[in-house]
Structure 1
Amino acid sequence: MAENRNEPLAAWMTEHQMSAAELADAVNGAIGEFTGKVGATADRTVFRWLSGENQWPQERQRRGLEMVTGLPILALGFVPRGKSTSDRAPEDPDVHRRRFVGASAGVAAAAVIPMGPVSARPVRVGTTDVIRLRAAVERLTAVDAERGGHGLERAALDGATEALTLQKLSTTQRVRQRLFALGADFTATAAWSLIDAGHLDGAARHLDRALTLAGLAQDSEMTMQIWNLRAMLARQRREYAEAVAAAQAAHATAIARRSPLHTSLAHARTAVGCAHGGDVRAALNSLGRAEDALSKADLTEPRSPWIAFYGPAELYSLTAIVRDVVGQPAEAEAASHRALAALPHSYRRNRGHTTVRLALAQLHQGDVEQACVTSGTVFTIMAGVPLPGRMRQLLGDFQRDLIAHAPSTRIAHEWTDRYRTEWSSP
């Protein structure tokens, strides 16, 4: 009956782009892990779960579902037959390890992906491997949001290696393409690690490789992610025409054509490139298009981890960059305040970066004292973790502009004396 439809399970399958047959295959593989014999769940069984006809799977299937999804069986919308919600199969210990939660900032990059050698795994490769590797990408994304992407290159490349090794053993074309996509995602994450660290030379090589893998995966969203990073890399290199071209390539992807959220990000990235390239009109026009597209996006829909950062807060942050670069620091300051008010608490690195932008906007209006106070809070925000290279470079820009705007003032010299070691240390 429609009123009994299992919406939580349906939502999880939609988010992970998983068909009934693939979920059945994954559950069977998980059952094989703890029993030694592959399960016999069929796709019609999954359809019965989705319709609500079967509201409490067999014990082995419940445990398999928990292992595959990383969620308690009750969170997947299932209801025990005539018993309390506490009467369910015990969770497998690995469920807690596999849940999609952020790793803490203190976790070493090498420990972010708990993967053993491929040779130690069963030859059978399927959806369970895709889910496990996707969870690893999400953990890397969580660490990036907390302390920055710098230092994650090795872990990301290890993930790419495993995904590409497994694709050679995969049993279906669909699983193979998903593993290629994960290889692209991990490789793009490695590139982002170098970009965020300010080590730009190796990033382009990783992005070239990631673009090839995205093509093999036939994954337009992964392709857009890579062009988005290309635009960021080109801007860091001050190659502004290439930054605009890369952003436009992102806009031309299939995902950007059908998703207002992705369209908005592509327009915003174009605006940043145009602003740095000196094309004020094009920058402001692109910014307007980004705002219009974002107003049409459903921000409650599930989205890929790589674009989870984008929304009103990030668009305000990019608006602040554009407005300041084109000579509108008051508007840039207002946009920075809006960004900081809207940023999720877990996005510490983004908060630090936006705070430096706020300080620059204040400095460019001549409010030297307030700008120094604002910029000083960055070190409190990022306390306990190394400053990402991009942030250190931006603080270097602040220090240079500070000296240019107030070369003889006491506060400028005090700022330099107090923070030089903190912002300049790798």
Structure 2
Amino acid sequence: MEATRNVLLAAWMEEHGHSSASLAEAVNLAMERVTGRAGGHDGSSVRAWKSGRTRWPNTATRKGLEAVTGLSSTDLGFVARGGAKSNPGLNQEDPDMKRRTLIGGLAATAAAAAAAPGSAPRRIGISDINRLQSRFTEIIARDHRHGGQLTIEQRAAALADEALNLQNAGSATQRVRSNLYAAAAAFRSSAMWAAIDGRRYIDAQRHMREAQALAEMSGDQAIKFRIWSHAGSMYRHMGRPSDAFAANDVARGLHITRRDPMFASLGLARQAAIHGAAQERTGTRRAFDQAQEAMDRADPRAPRPVWLVAFYDQAELDSLALSAYLALGEYQTAEAHAHRCLASLRPHLQRSRTITLTRLAHAQLAQGEAEAAVAAAMKVPAAAATQHARVSRMLDEFGAALRATAPGSLNVQTWTEHSAAWRTSA
């Protein structure tokens, strides 16, 4: 008997901007939260569901699908075998209840924010969302000033919980509830990035899982992109390029990259950086050329999220190129991108300036320009040199390379005295 295509599932995926790979990831995460065991699905699993080859997934998979979509398995177009019913407990709940079930422990403190018994329920509205968004802007600003700090990570995580608490603090429209989930996901993604930047990768992965679940419940394409793009960067820094490519491909597969070339550009620029880490020269150049072309096509006046507007521009594209070509050992090209980045970097991007100066020092030293390299490294602020985990590590590696290439030189003496003064002032 020929399989009948599941048009309902395909339509839901199209509406919510899911590729087969991204839905598989979302269902795997939901299965872990709902059943306690992570799912093992991939894009081929979802294609089997859509094609009708798999007409009735197993119980755990159906629970994951129902938690992600807020719909019953039958409403998603699956056909029960022998009259079996989709999970009755989930079917009888409204979509909001299904979503609250998914976040489970994330909202454990929500009861404290709920109205007292017998009192009129509070109405949660757009003003609450706006207040959260203003605080999100503050987190973004702190990250660009300092980066990687544990206090930023903790503050962002606390604000994510606060956004979730509002779900149980009163009544709200579905639109407001979706925005609350999006706000919580945004804060979690900032906590994730702070942990990545501080090289606290176990914590980053925990924030990532929570952010991904919240983003799925919000339906917000932009925040989904941010989280998966961050995941790609995390795996790149961890030295896991295959995982980095897979995560970044999920971000690049979202519909928002086809609607807005600026998102496409960022996805391609980060893809190029992963190619660089994986020592793939042709892929690096091709992806950067495509990233530049997409940026040139983007409408600079188009409305975009604050987190994207705050950092992604030509300077950031050059910063990612610097990282890639430094990893490839193409030091002259890397240095050129470093100078381009520094020339156009906006003043509030202090963390980016620090990282760019550190990478510039490495590129110059590798070309035998020790004096220029030390001068660049000495421009790094003491606070970043001693408190930013990534910068501290890169500067330690710079010092070791300098001593190896020019032992006993005046440049080594200058650098040793300068770095000692940093540690004294910290």
TM-score, L = length of structure 1: 0.68
Q: Does 1:353 align with 2:352?
A: no
Alpha-carbon distance, 1:390 to partner: 1.6
1:170–1:408: structure 2 CA closer, same or farther, 3 Å change rule?
farther
Identity of paired residues, percent? 34
Inter-partner Cα distance in structure 1 for 2:260 and 2:280:
27
| Residues matched between the structures, number | 308
Report what 1:388 is aligned to. Answer: 388
Inter-partner Cα distance in structure 2 for 1:332 and 1:395:
17
Contact between 1:387 and 1:423, CA under 8 Å: does it hold in 2? Answer: no
Report what 1:64 is aligned to. Answer: none
RMSD between superposed Cα atoms in Å:
2.3
Inter-partner Cα distance in structure 2 for 1:356 and 1:183:
33
Partner SS, residue 303 of structure 1: coil
Report what 1:214 is aligned to. Answer: 215
Inter-partner Cα distance in structure 1 for 2:196 and 2:288:
23
Inter-partner Cα distance in structure 2 for 1:131 and 1:125:
11
Q: Does 1:319 align with 2:318?
A: no
Report what 2:368 is aligned to. Answer: 366
Report what 1:273 is aligned to. Answer: 274
Report what 2:235 is aligned to. Answer: 234
Structure 1 consecutive aligned stretches of length 4 or more whose deviation exceeds 4 Å: 119-122, 423-426
Report what 1:419 is aligned to. Answer: 419
1:350–1:170: structure 2 CA closer, same or farther, 3 Å change rule?
farther
Alpha-carbon distance, 1:363 to partner: 0.9
Contact between 1:320 and 1:333, CA under 8 Å: does it hold in 2? Answer: yes
Inter-partner Cα distance in structure 1 for 2:222 and 2:228:
10
Q: Which has the higher contact order (CA 8 A, sep 6+)?
A: 2
1:229–1:142: structure 2 CA closer, same or farther, 3 Å change rule?
same
Alpha-carbon distance, 1:285 to partner: 1.0
Report what 2:298 is aligned to. Answer: 297
Unaligned runs of 5+ in 2: 1-111
CA deviations 1:139-180 (Å, max 9, x no partner) are 110111122241212211121111111123341111000000
Report what 2:106 is aligned to. Answer: none
TM-score, L = length of structure 2: 0.68
1:138–1:386: structure 2 CA closer, same or farther, 3 Å change rule?
farther
Partner SS, residue 399 of structure 1: helix
Unaligned runs of 5+ in 1: 1-116
Contact between 1:185 and 1:210, CA under 8 Å: does it hold in 2? Answer: yes
Inter-partner Cα distance in structure 1 for 2:422 and 2:371:
19
1:422–1:302: structure 2 CA closer, same or farther, 3 Å change rule?
farther
Inter-partner Cα distance in structure 1 for 2:389 and 2:421:
14
Inter-partner Cα distance in structure 2 for 1:285 and 1:166:
45
Report what 2:141 is aligned to. Answer: 142
Inter-partner Cα distance in structure 2 for 1:201 and 1:373:
35
Contact between 1:392 and 1:423, CA under 8 Å: does it hold in 2? Answer: no
Report what 1:84 is aligned to. Answer: none
Inter-partner Cα distance in structure 2 for 1:355 and 1:425:
20
Contact between 2:195 and 2:203, CA under 8 Å: does it hold in 1? Answer: yes
Give the counterpart letter for 1:194 in structure 2. A
1:118–1:125: structure 2 CA closer, same or farther, 3 Å change rule?
same
Partner SS, residue 377 of structure 1: coil
CA deviations 1:303-336 (Å, max 9, x no partner) are 2122120010100111111122222211111111
